[in-house]
């Protein structure tokens, strides 16, 4: 009896997992579902056309090799794409993602269908003062520094960035409508939303682009109700070509505001106008939002921004330093990237603190200064225990350079530090053995298990080593 399609795909995944970064595997391979194996053809179910195209462009060689290993030289792969019948399907537009230095241009003026008897006609640049205007000049409210140029790409955000750029190149013409970007605070969703708007303005100067926070939207609607000009409020938003609304979760519990936004959303979507929304949680986890609105949030693409990996954090710091024309030692940049792992905003804040301390007190920027500042800074921030954080604590404790713990050296002190890092990563994080191994010198799960057993055995037989383990455990948890 031949292998089942589930077993074949599991074997393929075990190979793929060892050949790509963990975050890439989680993003691009965990959502895939095998559905059948007939005549040496494995069929897999993928979530969207965009998903299929990304796999074909970036992972086709890896897929071919793993499939050949499992099914032989005649093995083939076919895709089945999930089709959501709740809205009209269009083939998404996918592209490579270059960047641009072009600055955003102003929106053109737009005519307003309103009662002219309410007041005199005049031009006001504020997009929220609507009654009595024959024309208004809509200001996009975009921050020009939040462009694709300054948005650092990594495995943590590649899907969202690629989708955002595709939307900006063809607003309203892809299946990513709405584009729903979600993440925890400080990971770049507002930056990416602005970048989409800026890129649209760079390419289509005639399109009306508006960025607005949900709080602004709610406040303006309340004013419209108070002044009895709700129709003008709705007509204004119906004129927008690309509407970007930040922190849409704040609509929770606002039933009347949700109702008016529902009608604006429908009007824009039916006319192929682009909608971009950001939130601190995925649509499925949002509370206090009407089901009919939630279902529309799921019509396009929901893309999350995850915690940046070590390399991406270094790139973010280097980009900021380059932009400001500042140079600091590489080991300080590495130390910063290892110390603050969960929030880009905090990472940049720590860098600014070190630069300020150096400038005000006329001190050289050294690893010792970085340690002093980070210890004070991190104590005041909510920090989850991560593998990177554990490695930093272990390296500091044994006075070992960070890069050594992930090297191939077999020196006893380095090997022991690496084993301790693996042990505490298993104890204090929810990461799999494969993920821990990947972060600790690209080792396999068997090596991680061996490290954990070694640490347990030494703790039982060596009092000095046991004291190291206890002290490190306290440092990691504080």
Q: Do 277 and 264 meet the contact criterion of CB atoms below 8 Å apart?
A: no
Residues of the domain holding 173: 109-304
For residue 161, tell me if it sits in a domain: yes
Q: What is the CATH number of the domain that holds 73?
A: 3.30.300.180
pLDDT of residue 112: 40
Residue 272 lies in a domain: yes
Q: Please check whether residues 431 and 346 belong to one and the same domain.
A: yes
CA 292 to CA 340: how far, in whole Å? 39
- 142, 201, 304, 476 from 215: Cα distances, Å: 16, 24, 22, 39
What is the pLDDT at residue 46?
A: 81
Query: Are residues 74 and 167 both part of a single domain?
Result: no
pLDDT of 137 reads: 53
Is position 100 within any domain? Answer: no
* The pLDDT of residue 94: 29
Residues ≥6 apart with Cβ < 8 Å to 382: none
Residue 72 has what pLDDT?
Answer: 84
Cα(263)–Cα(282) distance, rounded to whole angstroms?
Answer: 22
Structural domains of the chain, count: 3
Backbone angles phi, psi at 123, to 5 degrees: -105, 125
Q: What pLDDT shows up at residue 478?
A: 67
pLDDT in tens, the chain (478 residues): 457 888 888 988 988 888 888 777 887 888 888 888 888 888 888 877 667 777 877 888 888 888 888 888 888 888 776 544 333 443 333 223 333 333 334 455 444 433 323 333 333 344 444 443 333 456 778 888 888 888 888 878 888 888 899 999 999 888 888 999 998 888 889 999 999 999 999 999 889 999 999 999 999 999 889 888 888 888 889 889 999 999 999 999 899 999 999 999 999 999 999 999 999 888 888 888 989 898 888 888 888 888 887 778 888 888 888 777 778 888 788 778 877 777 788 787 788 888 887 777 777 887 777 777 776 655 444 455 778 778 888 988 888 887 788 787 888 888 999 999 999 988 888 777 877 887 787 788 888 889 998 999 898 888 888 888 998 988 887 6
Give yes or no: residues 279 and 260 share one domain. Answer: yes
Domain shared by 147 and 288, yes or no: yes
Same domain for 380 and 461: yes
Q: Note whether 337 and 230 are same-domain residues.
A: no
472 and 430, same domain (yes or no): yes
Is residue 99 one of the residues assigned to a domain? Answer: no
Residue 393 is predicted with a pLDDT of 87
Domain boundary residue, one of 270, 304, 338: 304
pLDDT at 2: 59
Whether residue 274 is found in the same domain as residue 332: no
Is 90 among the domain residues? no
- Please enumerate in sequence order all residues whose Cβ is within 8 A of that of 340, keeping only pairs 6 or more positions apart, or say none: 313, 346, 347, 350, 374, 377, 378, 381, 383
pLDDT for res 108: 52
165/183 Cα distance (integer angstroms):
18
The phi, psi pair for 357, rounded to 5°, reads: -60, -45
Indicate if 281 and 369 belong to the same structural domain.
no
pLDDT of residue 324: 73
Does 330 lie in the same domain as 293?
Answer: no
pLDDT score, position 91: 37
Specify whether the CB–CB gap between 154 and 113 falls below 8 A.
no
Q: Could you tell me the CATH number of the domain that includes residue 192?
A: 3.40.50.300
Q: Are residues 329 and 473 in the same domain?
A: yes
The answer to whether residues 384 and 259 belong to one domain is no
For residue 222 the two structure tokens come to: 């309340």
């Amino acid at each position: 009896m031949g292998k089942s399609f589930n077993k074949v795909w599991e074997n393929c995944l075990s190979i793929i997992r060892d050949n790509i970064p963990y975050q890439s595997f989680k993003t691009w391979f965990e959502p895939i579902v095998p559905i059948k194996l007939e005549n040496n053809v494995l069929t897999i179910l993928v979530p969207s056309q965009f998903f299929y195209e990304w796999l074909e462009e970036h992972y086709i060689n890896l897929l071919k090799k793993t499939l050949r290993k499992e099914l032989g030289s005649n093995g083939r792969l076919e895709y089945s794409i999930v089709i959501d019948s709740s809205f009209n399907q269009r083939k998404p537009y996918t592209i490579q993602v270059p960047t641009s230095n072009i600055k955003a241009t102003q929106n053109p003026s737009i005519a307003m269908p309103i009662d002219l008897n309410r007041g005199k006609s005049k031009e006001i640049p504020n997009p929220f003062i609507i009654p009595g205007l024959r024309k208004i000049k809509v200001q996009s409210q975009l921050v020009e520094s939040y462009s694709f140029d300054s948005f650092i790409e990594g495995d943590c955000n590649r899907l969202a960035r690629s989708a955002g750029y595709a939307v900006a190149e063809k607003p309203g013409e892809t299946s990513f409508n709405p584009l729903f970007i979600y993440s925890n605070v400080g990971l770049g969703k507002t930056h990416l939303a602005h970048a989409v708007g800026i890129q649209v303005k760079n390419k289509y100067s005639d399109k009306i682009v508006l960025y607005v926070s949900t709080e602004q939207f709610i406040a303006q609607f309340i004013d419209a109700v108070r002044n009895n000009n709700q129709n003008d409020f709705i007509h204004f938003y119906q004129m927008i070509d690309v509407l970007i609304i930040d922190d849409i979760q704040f609509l929770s519990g606002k039933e009347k505001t949700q109702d008016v936004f529902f009608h604006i959303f429908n009007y824009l979507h039916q006319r192929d106008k682009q909608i971009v929304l950001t939130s601190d949680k995925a649509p499925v986890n949002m509370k206090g939002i009407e089901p009919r609105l939630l279902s529309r949030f799921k019509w396009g693409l929901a893309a999350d921004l995850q915690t940046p990996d070590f390399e991406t954090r270094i790139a973010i710091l280097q980009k900021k330093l380059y932009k400001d024309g500042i140079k600091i030692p590489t080991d300080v940049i590495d130390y910063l990237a290892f110390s603050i792992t969960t929030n880009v905003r905090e990472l940049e804040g720590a860098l600014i603190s070190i630069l300020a301390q150096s400038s005000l007190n006329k001190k050289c920027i050294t690893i010792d200064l970085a340690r002093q500042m980070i210890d004070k800074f991190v104590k005041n921030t909510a920090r989850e225990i991560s593998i990177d954080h554990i490695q930093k604590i272990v390296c500091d404790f044994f006075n070992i350079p960070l890069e050594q713990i992930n090297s191939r050296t077999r020196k006893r002190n380095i090997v022991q530090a690496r084993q301790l890092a693996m042990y505490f990563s298993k104890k204090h994080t929810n990461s799999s053995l494969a993920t821990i191994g990947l972060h600790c010198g690209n080792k396999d799960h068997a090596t991680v298990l061996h490290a954990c057993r070694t640490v347990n055995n030494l703790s039982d037989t060596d009092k000095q080593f046991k004291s190291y383990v206890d002290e490190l455990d306290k440092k990691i948890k504080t």
